[in-house]
Structure 1
Amino acid sequence: MAHGTSLQYEPVAEIGGGAYGTVYKARDTESGQFVALKSVRVQTDQNGLPISTVREVALLKRLEQFDHPNVVRLMDVCATQRSDQETKVTLVFEHVDQDLKTYLERAPDAGLAPGRIQDLMRQLMCGLAFLHSNRVMHRDLKPENILVTSQGQVKLADFGLARIYSCHMALTPVVVTLWYRPPEVLLQSSYATPVDIWSTGCIFAEMFRRKPLFCGESEVDQLGKILQVIGLPSEDEWPADVSLSRKHFPSLLPRPITDFVPEINELGAQLLLKMLTFDPLKRISALNALEDAYFQDEETLT
């Protein structure tokens, strides 16, 4: 599993400490290029192997062979045994200078041009369609882990890490933001690839608004804020196996999405609603979204 050694990578700067531990910008001493290092300590089995991590990393390495333009490259994996019970795994990714959060903060006062938003969204959907067709869910999409290169290329980062880190997460008090979480996750119901589509819908709205669409303070509050926009779903759409009942929420009708995202055009608004659909089975898929009229529309570019 270990390819390079951690000695090959020389940390240059701390990029940020997220829920997943500290991330470093480093220099690869062999090639001279910059990389991003993410380390996680994982529990090991009787043979000293971090089981779930090996599986996840193997999956990430498999994706690597396709070299998709909208997915950050995993360039190397280094494992160092700390003790019988613990191994430190360092993932080495290509380094990209800014994330979408920074990119939006740096946008001109008038906001991003509609054609620019359309282009960013198309790239985001291409990356997602690729992950989903390889049965990889991101599970934690937000502006901070969507990278934008200086050439304007979008790259999804931190996909597949949700599972690697979930065991480690239990140990960290960092609050992972709820703002991009879909109803099925907030309700702790079963979930699959549509979770990423919901998050992407929230991000789509944010590209126009330049502030998050739903800013809840707890799971219940987040769900309440969502329902104020999309309305209370019917009884049969509410998942049956959840502790939070539909009766907990007021009977609300959906409001026009343009009340919340006034700059969006008609086709964009229609696509956004297909993404912000309460029932994950009725939510649009990444592949179908790429075929949507919004992306065929040249008018947005003028």
Structure 2
Amino acid sequence: MSASSFRDTTDPNYEEVAVIGTGAYGTVYKARDLKNDGAIVAMKRIRIQNTEEGMPMSAIREIALLKQLENYEHPNIVRLLDVKHTQQSPSEIRLLLVFEYIDQDLAMYLERCPNPGLGPDRIRDLMQQLLNGVDFLHAHRIVHRDLKPQNILVTSQGQVKLADFGLARVYGFQMALTSVVVTLWYRAPEVILQDTYATPVDLWSCGCIFAELFNRRPFFCGQTDIDQLNKIFEILGLPRESDWPENVTLPWNSFKLLPPQPIGKFIPEICQDGKDLIEKLLSFNPHHRISAHDALNHSYFRDELDSVRTSSSLSVSESDSLDTSDCRSDTPVSK
């Protein structure tokens, strides 16, 4: 959706070019940075409800942390270039976040990839970059809490960059949403059950995304909280009662006793190491779920196994020409 170019009334340094998207919390624009030779940036405007003392302290802490991360210039984290805020009214603050501009997210990347889809080395490379970014956030005590293909950007060189991290508390993650449908598809069971949660929620999302890289469609597509849990249990089986969180509204015995199904039945192209990794990512019990650091050291990513995988897949992929699509390129992006 395009918009006529105009200066940002709150900051004359930026000129809006087009609307990229509109959500529950604000609007994202493609814009020109006029103080930097008109460089293209992504500009996100967020509405924050004021407390009596001004901007909520949680929002200030999160934004300060995001700015601090810029010092590391991590290759798998989108760059935050500028932060501004203005008092819109006594009850509302407008926050302006300026990021590097990347013109596609993972959802678009998968949509644009022609049949037969991503090659096994490309999937491995994308997952390794995704987990690198998540591991970096977790090492700095940031839980993304909303990992999904729309929040994972992919540059034209195939570099993965996580976006929208650390903003969950700024937005108010548990706030009641009226006109906006929140996607449940990548949400960990402990979040759906409204139990306490921490960094493992992001690894669950990584597991869902891992499956989607193979199938090019979401793995668990529930319409409601209960439907989402049912979709999960239809594939992974109902967990043991001892793994069910205490003091949650939905009891364990309100769900059918279902056995786990073989992952290969739903993701036929996944290798044995990949099956093991996805099962560890999609562990119902967050205490048993693999960490980002351990996932990066999983045998699925070990270089010495590459030749075995390549030779075993030649019969399937010999006809896949590398120049048919950048998607199927087996050249990994440098980490």
Please give the range of the TM-score, normalised by the shorter of the 2 chains: over 0.9
Provide the secondary structure at the position in 2 that maps to 1:98: coil
Q: Which amino acid letter does the alignment assign opposite residue 45 of structure 1? A: T
> Aligned partners of 1:60, 1:301: CA distance in 2, in Å?
39
Q: How does 1:193-232 map to 2 (within 5 A)?
A: 193-232=199-238
Q: What is residue 297 of structure 2 aligned with on the other side?
A: 291
Confirm whether residue 260 of structure 1 aligns to residue 271 of structure 2: no
The one of 9, 14, 33 aligned to 1:9: 14
The structure-2 alpha-carbon separation of the partners of 1:167 and 1:178, relative to structure 1 and needing over 3 Å to count, comes to closer
Confirm whether residue 122 of structure 1 aligns to residue 128 of structure 2: yes
Q: Is the 8 A contact 1:19 1:175 kept in 2?
A: no
Q: What is residue 248 of structure 2 aligned with on the other side?
A: 242
The one of 18, 23, 41 aligned to 2:28: 23
Offset, 1:136 = 0.1
Q: Is the 8 A contact 2:147 2:205 kept in 1?
A: yes
Q: Is the 8 A contact 1:19 1:172 kept in 2?
A: no
**Identity fraction in percent:** 58
> Aligned partners of 2:82, 2:174: CA distance in 1, in Å?
21
Provide the secondary structure at the position in 2 that maps to 1:63: helix
Offset, 1:47 = 4.0
- Which has the higher Rg, Structure 1 or Structure 2? 2
Q: Is the 8 A contact 2:104 2:153 kept in 1?
A: yes
Instruction: Count residues with an aligned counterpart.
Output: 298
Runs of 4+ in 1 over 6 A off after TM superposition: none
Offset, 1:301 = 5.4
> Aligned partners of 1:182, 1:168: CA distance in 2, in Å?
14
> Aligned partners of 1:214, 1:39: CA distance in 2, in Å?
31
TM-score, structure 2 length as denominator? 0.86
Gapped regions of structure 1 (runs ≥ 5): none
> Aligned partners of 2:265, 2:23: CA distance in 1, in Å?
33
What do residues 112-153 of structure 1 show as CA deviations (whole Å, max 9, x unaligned)? 000000000000000000000000000000000100000000
Confirm whether residue 138 of structure 1 aligns to residue 147 of structure 2: no
Offset, 1:183 = 0.8
> Aligned partners of 2:209, 2:55: CA distance in 1, in Å?
37
> Aligned partners of 1:11, 1:239: CA distance in 2, in Å?
47
> Aligned partners of 1:145, 1:203: CA distance in 2, in Å?
11
Q: Is the 8 A contact 2:26 2:47 kept in 1?
A: no
The structure-2 alpha-carbon separation of the partners of 1:253 and 1:212, relative to structure 1 and needing over 3 Å to count, comes to same
Q: Which amino acid letter does the alignment assign opposite residue 78 of structure 2? A: V
Offset, 1:169 = 5.0
